[in-house]
Structure 1
Amino acid sequence: MTSLTPKPSQVESWERLPSDWHNDERMDALFAFFKDRDLNPVHYDAKMKFWSETINAFCEDHGLLQIDMPTIVSRFRRKGKTPKCLDKVFDELVKQNRLVSTNDYTNSQQSSWVSWSFNKLASPITSWMSPKTPVDQEVFIIKELVDKKALQVVEALQSQVYVPTFDCVVSFTSFINTCRRCALIDENSINLVISALTRDKKILIDYIGDAKDVKVVKFVAPGASVVRPLTEIENSVLLLRHSKERLEEQLKKSDEQIEGLLADIRRHLKNSNRTAAMKLLRKKKLLEREHEKKEGTIEHLNCVLTQIEQTDCSSLVINAYSSGVQAHKELLRKNGLTPDAVDDMIDEVQEMLENQKELDEALSRPVGNETTDMTELEGELEELLKQPVLPTPVPAAPIPAQKETVNEEYIKPPEQDPFADLELRLQKLGVQESTPNKVPEIASSSQ
């Protein structure tokens, strides 16, 4: 079978080449036929996982969204040997619905709302196989890679959006260039991505111009879920841009023509053919005049496009202001905030502060009939300060306890001491005791 996919780079130069690729013993086991899973399920599952992940990563890095077994077998040739187990790998991927036959994928696309687009854009896909194609020579679609690449293309397009009003439409050529930057190297893979994006309503292919001869692609705007139909504003802006691009192409051609005329004029002058040089010089002047006119037209178109962009930005700013005002009004309404309500609240606060001030003054007034004159109290305090300060009395030594004579037969009651409180009275009178031994002597004489 002749391979239907383009020949990618050799697997040895692949950046994500498996680390076991240079291990001869390991790769011989991986290249061999699958044995019955019941004999060694661990080895069987590890081998299946290795080939599934390796084939998927290889196709992703090389932009291959459709594969066939002969192509993959030839791409993973190693030291003259090819893997003998890929038929089992393909069968398992088909069971997991990770590989979809071209016929099934085509039918699923045609049953959607974009059958017209798929029939037109993916016609090469439908011709890849016939109903009698053997299974081992079937062409399969890697569905998960198609969806992944489609998402990458949309994200790449959205990253270039500056003004969402009309920047979500690009020429079909620009769209194809974006696909190629996402590693989609062949037309069939690009058609698959176009088909998937159209099916999911992420892009819309249309034609603009009076003759509907300009093919454009509108993609879903950032933040939106599906693409919207082409608007009149987008149609007008696209026509302006298309006219500008055509004028720029004409300018390039006129520059080349003017350079060629200059070379011919110099050649005729060198050959002393002034008549031919004069004719070419007139033609050169006409081209230069047309060149200036086109340059002025391009400058005018640039100004118009700039004004449109500024108007759109101004519209976005006005809409943002409007949304902010509405949100502010709703917040004021929800919280009951009005100028009258705020004035009433300020009055209530002022009244509350005045009431509190009156309460503080009332609480600071003296309680009861406090009629004592402060002047009288000050005078009495001055009199007390003028009086002499008496020395602090020194406490007298304690009187030793008197021993009592204890008689076994008779105990004499103690007699009352007439001088017991003498010392206390002397202390109150402020007279210091001169002879500390006087009290004991009197006590002894009384006995």
Structure 2
Amino acid sequence: MTPIPEEKLPEFFKDVARKNVLYAPLRSKTVNPIDWNFKITSWKQLINLYCSSNKVFCFSLESLKVAFQDNGRTPSCLEEVLENMLQNKEIEPLVIFIEKKPKTWIEWAKKSLISVPFTWSLNKMKNFIISPDLNKLEYVPLDVIHHEADLLLKELSIIHKNEVMSLAELIQERNIDVNKQRDFEILFVSLYNRNKIDMLETEESSIKSENLLIKICDPKHYEPISEVDLGIHTLKANEKALEKNIEFLTESANKCKDEAKAFIVKGQKQLAKASLKKKHEIELRINKKAETLYNLHTLWNKLQDMTLSEEVLDSYKKALGAFEGTLNKGVNTDAIDDTMLKVAEMLEIQSDMESALGRSLLDNEDEDLERELEDLMENDKFNNDNKGSPSRDNDESLIEAMKTLELNLPSVPSSPVIVHYSDQNMSKEVN
């Protein structure tokens, strides 16, 4: 089974024939440079995909052989691939990675991060002297861990910007599995090496995560852990300790109260009084610790207000500097008035240009249009005169014509007219 998700798997690794070539021994680069380049490049891509997909930030030659085991066979050229990646600074031995710059917590890093006994010297590593532990020598994929570390810092800085927290607190907050804690810690080493966070060990020769402090810096601005940061962290630690202690004492006081009730039921008044007395003593301790906790809350709020005030003041200073820089460039009321006058002149010129561009290119264009319009009107009048539905003007002309019309009609008879009905031989006189 491949250690890389199917959707991320390269096409060349899905092809059986090409996959068999990848698992075969690596030929000499001078004999077959194409085959050599294909295998080296392909395995680099596969190793980075394996690390990024599975959040693996530290591996060895031995662990890679196990991860890429396929039907009982292991890749035969991984050692050459890792050597090439080392030469190109794509990977780095873990023991060199954690010693990139002076640290106060180097002993913690050696004990916590290096699983193989620290028997390698830097000279041995740089010269690649063969050793029985060579297969177990651990490497970090630099591009992968730098990318993942930057994403982690971006997420943490949203909530904890410029805040100092212990590694234990971060592990608990992120709900990191025990098996993944080592990889999680390597990400912080990556950020520290690139001056993106600061780290400090509070107790020497200790590998407890509670003793390693980490300052979550702004991704764009690095700030080391200061005395003020340590003071705030101590306040927060004391606050949490007091809260837990008060919670414990409250439970003890309630337990004494329940004991007193039980003694009363049994008729043991003296024991009941003793339990109540013990309860009152515990409550006095609770009140004192609650007052101390209140004072710590007040100090914490004051410190937060001071920090916020500093940030606001810094913003004001930056804004003031921007204003001064703008004014020094000659921005004043006279310059603004001159600019506005020039803008008005340019707008007027632009308006004239638009009018000029909108004029007709031909002088007799209007005359042609008038002539064409008259022709259309004449044609329209002719069509109206010949339509079947007369207009009002046509009605008046028709009435005038009818007045002058002479009709040759017979005259009205002077004697009665007799009408005969043929059916019944009847006649009727019509006047």
* Unaligned ranges ≥5, structure 2: 121-130, 204-209, 342-431
* 1:275 maps onto 2:265 in alignment: no
Which of 196, 204, 208 matches 1:202?
196
Contact 1:203 1:218 in 2 (8 A): yes
| 8 Å Cα contact 2:110-2:118 kept in structure 1 | no
Identity between Structure 1 and Structure 2 (%): 14
Distance change (3 Å), C-alpha of 1:308 and 1:299: same
How far off is 1:88 after superposition?
Answer: 0.8
Q: Could you give the per-residue CA deviations for residues 175-205 of structure 1, whole angstroms, max 9, x where no partner exists?
A: 4446765x88445434533443333333333
Question: Residue 217 of structure 1: SS of its match in structure 2?
Answer: strand
Per-residue deviation at 1:95? Answer: 0.5
TM-score by length of 2: 0.57
Does residue 122 of the first structure (1) align with residue 113 of the second (2)?
no
Instruction: Decide which of 221, 224, 227 is 1:228's aligned counterpart.
Output: 224
Root mean square deviation, CA, Å:
4.5
Establish whether residue 299 from structure 1 lines up as the match of residue 294 from structure 2: yes
Query: Compared with structure 1, are the counterparts of its residues 137 and 126 closer, same or farther at alpha carbon in structure 2 (3 Å cutoff)?
Result: closer
Note if contact 2:164-2:216 (Cα within 8 Å) is conserved in structure 1.
Answer: yes
The answer to whether the 8 A contact 2:4-2:53 is kept is: no
Q: Distance in 1 between matches of 2:180 and 2:61?
A: 18
2:306 corresponds, among 311, 331, 334, to 311
CA contact (8 A) 1:169 1:216 kept: yes
| 1:256 equivalent among 227, 246, 251 | 251
Alignment of 1:261-410 (within 5 A): 261-269=256-264, 271-332=266-327, 334-335=329-330, 337=332
Q: Which 10-residue stretch deviates more, 241-250 or 284-293?
A: 284-293
Contact 2:27/2:35 (8 A) holds in 1: no
CA contact (8 A) 1:31 1:82 kept: no
Identify, as 1 or 2, the structure richer in helix: 2
- Which ranges of structure 1 fall in alignment gaps of 5 or more residues? 1-9, 350-447
Q: Deviations over 1:60-95 (max 9, x none)?
A: 3444322233333334556xx23321x413421330
Cα 1:121–1:272 shift into 2, 3 Å: farther
Which one of 84, 95, 99 corresponds to residue 106 of structure 1?
Answer: 95
Contact 1:150 1:197 in 2 (8 A): yes
Q: How far 1:248 sits from its partner (Å)?
A: 1.4
In structure 2, the partner of 1:241 is: 236
Q: Could you say which residue in structure 1 is the equivalent of 2:366?
A: none
AA aligned opposite 1:65: F
- The 8 Å contact of residues 66 and 142 in structure 1, kept in 2 or not, is answered as yes
How high is the TM-score relative to the length of structure 1? Answer: 0.55
The letter of the residue matching 1:84 is T
CA distance in 2, matches of 1:91, 1:277: 80
Q: Is the 8 A contact 1:101 1:140 kept in 2?
A: yes
- CA change 1:94–1:149 in 2 (3 A) is farther
**Could you say what secondary structure the match of 2:198 adopts?**
strand
Offset from partner CA, 1:264-296 (integer Å, 9 cap, x none): 445545544443333223222332333344334
Is 2:26–2:77's contact at 8 Å kept on the other side of the alignment? no
**Which amino acid in 1 is paired with 2:105?**
S
Say which of 187, 194, 219 aligns to 1:193.
Answer: 187
Q: Does 1:33 align with 2:24?
A: yes
Asked if the contact 2:260/2:272 (under 8 Å) is kept, the reply is yes
Question: How many residues were matched structurally?
Answer: 318
Change (3 A) 1:290 1:58: farther
Contact 1:76 1:82 in 2 (8 A): no
Alignment of 1:133-212 (within 5 A): 133=132, 135-161=134-160, 167-177=162-172, 181=176, 185-206=179-200
Q: Is the Cα–Cα contact under 8 Å of residues 256 and 279 in structure 2 kept in the other structure?
A: yes
From the superposition, tell whether residues 159 and 269 of structure 1 become closer, same or farther in structure 2 (CA, over 3 Å): same
Deviation of 1:119 after TM superposition, in Å, equals 3.5
What is the DSSP-based 3-state SS (H/G/I as helix, E as strand, rest coil) of the residue aligned with 2:77? helix
C-alpha distance in 1, partners of 2:10/2:109? 40
Structure 1 residues 326 and 287, CA gap change in structure 2 (3 angstroms) = same
Give me the whole-angstrom Cα distance separating, in 1, the residues matched to 2:20 and 2:189: 40
The answer to whether the Cα contact below 8 Å between 2:196 and 2:219 also exists between their aligned partners in 1 is no
Q: Quick one: which amino acid aligns to residue 88 of structure 1?
A: C
Which of 53, 65, 81 is the aligned partner of 1:92?
Answer: 81
Q: Retained in 1: the 8 A contact 2:263–2:271?
A: yes
Q: 1:336/1:195 Cα in 2 relative to 1: closer, same or farther (>3 Å)?
A: closer
CA-to-partner distance for each residue in 1:363-398, whole Å, 9 max, x for gaps? xxxxxxxxxxxxxxxxxxxxxxxxxxxxxxxxxxxx
Residue 121 of structure 1 and its aligned partner are, at CA, apart by: 1.9
Shift of 1:263: 4.7
Q: Is the alpha carbon distance of 1:270 and 1:300 closer, same or farther for their aligned partners in structure 2, counting shifts above 3 Å?
A: same
